[in-house]
Structure 1
Amino acid sequence: MSVCGLMVLYILLMSDCVSVVLGQGDWGVRYSTQSICALKGSTVEMSCSYTFPSGKVTSTFWYTKDTYKNPVNLIVDSDYTGRVKYHDERYRHTLTITDLRESDSVVYKFRFITDGGKYTGGPGVTLTLTDGDSVTLTCTTTCTLIGHTYIWYRNKQLLTKQEVSLHLNPVSSEDAGNYSCAVKGLESLRSPEEKLIVTYGPKNTSVSVSPSSEIMEGSSVTLTCSSDANPPVDKYTWYKKTLTSPKASGQSYNITNITSEDSGEYYCETENKYGRHNSLSVSVDVLYLKHAVHAR
């Protein structure tokens, strides 16, 4: 008994992305990704940072429709009801769309309003949807069996599917692993394992800070970036909010002899051949000691 050899799969989850900084004067929006390719039915995130001369932000939102120069907030757009979430943290905004549909393949723009004006970042983020790749695993025997039930295993764990063929459509990163099959009732005669490989761009990117307790001026701090990707992330880039130029590269960013000027919010960008992904930002707050002066 053997499993067919169609067991290696490559799937592109995200297209190459280009960071873009656009604005007039001190008004600007920096999109972390200018184009995204995603699977229908999946979830996608797109984010940006924004700057403005002064004042207080009163509204932030994403839109796709601009009716009579009046952009429609996705939160109240009937085409996205119940599928949109915003995450806003200090001049950085993330849009999450769930249950992606064919009609979602449009350009998304970010707009913010302050007590001193309003600004829309162009050209925006272009979202393209695909059905995704599929794979079929078929359990075969040396002779045709009639009236028997086939069972499947992934990483030696029994799957609920009980058919001669196992269809994965669309395939996802969770489907990767070692597969084997058997005839129900003859589980001891299991087929050899075949490996299914799924490739994808970075996701679940996060940053940890060490030490995580109080950070005193003059001490050292290490920021470490982690991400799920296959093949593994081959490029890490560190950014400090409000600055457009990268601060460092590499999975870890070590700040020695830290000063109050190093205080701020940091995030990392991860990249492999299939895409890029940014972490949420973490705060680094540097405490300083006041030195008392005693008169003699």
Structure 2
Amino acid sequence: MLFKDVDVFWVHFLLGLTAVQCEWSVTHSSRRVCGLKGASVVLSCTYQYPWKGRGDTYGGGEWYGEKSQRVIKHSHSNYPDCSLNIDKLSENHTGVYKFRFYTALHLTWITDKTGVVLSITDLQVKEEAVSRKQNQIKVTCSTSCILGSEYVWYKNGQILQGKTTASILLDSTKLPEKGNYYCAVRGYAAHRSPAQSLQVMVTSAAVTEGERVTLTCSTTCTLSDHPTFTWFKNSLIHKRTTDKNLHFDLVQGHDSGNYSCAVRGHESVASIDVFLYVRYEPKNVSVSLSPSGEIEEGTLVTLTCSSDANPPVHTYTWHFTTPARWSVMGTGESLTFNMTPVHSGLYHCEAQNEVGSHNSTDVLLDVKKEEDAAWPVNAGIIIFMVIVILLALGIVSLRKRGAKSTANTQRALENAQSDLTTVYSIISAHTLPSDLTQRVGSHGLGDVQYASVRFSRTRRQEASSRGLEDCVVYSNVRDLSQS
């Protein structure tokens, strides 16, 4: 009976343990992880603890390598996350990693049977020919496992915009394609591949604008006595000649392109392209100003230099000129500063590439001061004051002239009166004869006497007083003898 009870106990224990094994679990988001050499990686992991709070306790967990069985990391009370982070990855980290935890109630380890496979890779840039006809080279960012879907490409230290795939196509005949290429996975910019140098194979050397250039079409086939050659530029018919040579007396920048040739009638078997690379110094160098128009003090000003050059401009230099000095303001395609009076002057940029350099025309920059805005008002006030002063002076002048004219007239009259010669007329009263008296009285004339008086002038005043005429003064003299 005792043994029977013991058997029943072990059966229940094993069944309970089986149930525990079924309810406890470890889950990984990915069973295969690719890590970049030198970078870090996270092995994601979660676990289920269904008996938590029902008498069971979590006894701790740990990650270990399947080969070495060496414990890598202990995991404690971070339920339900059990992820593992590994830094500074190397080839030694390659392998299978598993997570297990201990249950105190059942005294056993719950182990993830499958685990996570970790692979370590580095980046390599490899190139391969794609099309001899089109001179295309395929450059690939190579890895031993899949790291990501988006890449970053660099050329001579600069990011190539728009290049985000694992492979890019380059033209092996174009000098601008020459350089050192390397790649990185998006998000791991600090862990780039070693540089891969792309050597450009050009049949004809690069030429400079203005030089004489000759392209020659040759073939190993037997030709007719007078063959005609068809020349292609960028896959389009450029010219037909009876001469196997294509001449450029003074090659220009617009002559750059891919050239090929064929015997007329056999255009389907044209030669491979040869890239004619025409270099020229910067042209059409100009400066643009932002903002445009009048610039007030304190405004943020940006000058931008632009040009057409082949190869591209590698240095922009900004020059500043005033009547007092000349100086270099800086380098770069743009020049930015806060406008102050000391920045007023002439600006121009110098664009330089491998062929030569060229300057833009001068741009005048003048600061608009705050007092300049008040100048129209001040000018109006000044003009108004001048007009008022002139009017006042005019009125005073007119008054002075009127007073002077009156005084002159008064003095003239006084002088005329003073220059007159006083004539005394002595009139004696005589007793008229009685008959005359009667006649006079009968006619009602009474006591009337007539005296003729002449005003004489001195010779000195005669000339100036010619306008005065002799006049007769009539005096009524009362005969006092009749009173």
TM-score normalised according to structure 1 size: 0.50
State the identity as a percent.
47
1:255 maps to 2:334: no
Distance 1:285 1:185 in 2: 66
Tell me, yes or no, if structure 1 residue 148 matches structure 2 residue 227: yes
Match of 1:239 in 2: 319
Over 3 Å counting, the alpha-carbon distance change for 1:211 and 1:190 in structure 2 is farther
Q: Which residue of 2 aligns with 1:136?
A: 214
Whichever residue aligns with residue 248 of structure 1, its letter is G
2:372 is equivalent to residue 175 of structure 1: no
Q: Which moved more, 1:182-191 or 1:218-227?
A: 182-191
Letter in 1 for 2:213: V
Q: Work out the CA distance in 1 between the residues paired with 2:329 and 2:268.
A: 57
The 3-state SS of whatever aligns with 1:245 is strand
**Deviation, structure 1 residue 168:** 1.9
SS at match of 1:204: strand
Q: 1:169 to 1:244 in 2, by over 3 A?
A: same
Shift of 1:161: 4.5
Which has the higher relative contact order, 1 or 2, with Cα contacts under 8 A spaced 6 or more apart? 1
SS in 2 for 1:199: strand
Aligned residues: 171
Quote the residue 1:128 is aligned against.
none
> Which structure 1 segments of 5+ residues have no match?
14-38, 40-131
In the TM superposition, residue 143 of structure 1 has moved relative to its aligned partner by 0.7
- Residue 191 of structure 1 corresponds to which residue in structure 2? 271
Residues 161 and 226 (structure 1), Cα distance of their counterparts in 2 relative to 1, 3 Å cut: farther
Give the C-alpha shift of residue 235 in structure 1.
1.8
Name whichever structure is richer in strand by fraction.
Answer: 1
Q: Alpha carbons of 1:161 and 1:224: their partners in 2 closer, same or farther (altered >3 Å)?
A: farther
State whether structure 2 residue 348 is matched by structure 1 residue 267: yes
1:241–1:161: structure 2 CA closer, same or farther, 3 Å change rule? farther
Question: Within 2, Cα distance between the matches of 1:223 and 1:213?
Answer: 13
**Aligned CA distance change for structure 1 residues 287 and 185 (closer, same or farther; 3 Å):** farther
The Cα shift of 1:253 comes to 0.6
| 1:261 counterpart SS class | helix
Does 2:362 correspond to 1:165?
no
Letter of the 2:269 counterpart = L
Deviation (angstroms), 1:289: 4.0
CA distance in 2, matches of 1:192, 1:248: 46
Q: 1: CA distance between counterparts of 2:240 and 2:368?
A: 57
Match of 2:292 in 1: 212
State the 1:222 CA deviation.
0.9
- 1:8–1:195 Cα contact (<8 Å) kept: no
CA RMSD for the aligned pairs?
2.9
The letter for the 1-side match of 2:327 is S
Q: Distance in 2 between matches of 1:185 and 1:281?
A: 56
Gaps of 5+ in 2: 1-132, 134-201, 375-483
1:281 maps onto 2:362 in alignment:
yes
Question: 1:256-279 CA deviation, whole Å, 9 max, x = no partner?
Answer: 2x1233233210112233322111
Query: Which one has the largest radius of gyration?
Result: 2
State the SS of the aligned residue for 1:140.
Answer: coil
Residues of 1 paired with 2:297 and 2:287: CA distance? Answer: 21
TM-fit CA distance, 1:188: 3.6
CA distance in 2, matches of 1:179, 1:261: 54
Distance 1:283 1:158, change over 3 A: farther
Q: Taking structure 1 as reference, are residues 244 and 261 closer, same or farther at Cα in structure 2, changes over 3 Å only?
A: closer
Aligned to 2:160: none
**Cα contact 2:228–2:240 (8 A) shared by 1:** no
Corresponding position: 1:229 with 2:313: no
- CA–CA separation in structure 2 for the residues paired with 1:143 and 1:195: 24
Letter in 1 for 2:254: E
**How far apart in 2 are the matches of 1:215 and 1:153?**
53
SS at match of 1:212: coil
Decide whether aligned partners of structure 1 residues 213 and 184 sit closer, same or farther in structure 2, where only a CA change above 3 A counts: farther
- Residue 213 of structure 1 and its aligned partner are, at CA, apart by 4.1
**What displacement does 1:214 show?**
4.0
Are the counterparts in 1 of residues 260 and 272 from structure 2 also a CA contact under 8 Å? yes
The 1:161/1:205 distance shift into structure 2, 3 A limit, reads farther
Would the alpha carbon gap of residues 158 and 286 (structure 1) be closer, same or farther in structure 2, given more than 3 Å must change? farther
SS at match of 1:218: coil
1:74-120, Cα deviation, whole Å (9 max, x unpaired): xxxxxxxxxxxxxxxxxxxxxxxxxxxxxxxxxxxxxxxxxxxxxxx
- Say which structure is richer in helix: 2
Taking the aligned partners of 1:288 and 1:185, their CA distance within structure 2 comes to 74
2:283 to 182, 198, 203: 203
By how many angstroms is 1:165 displaced? 1.4
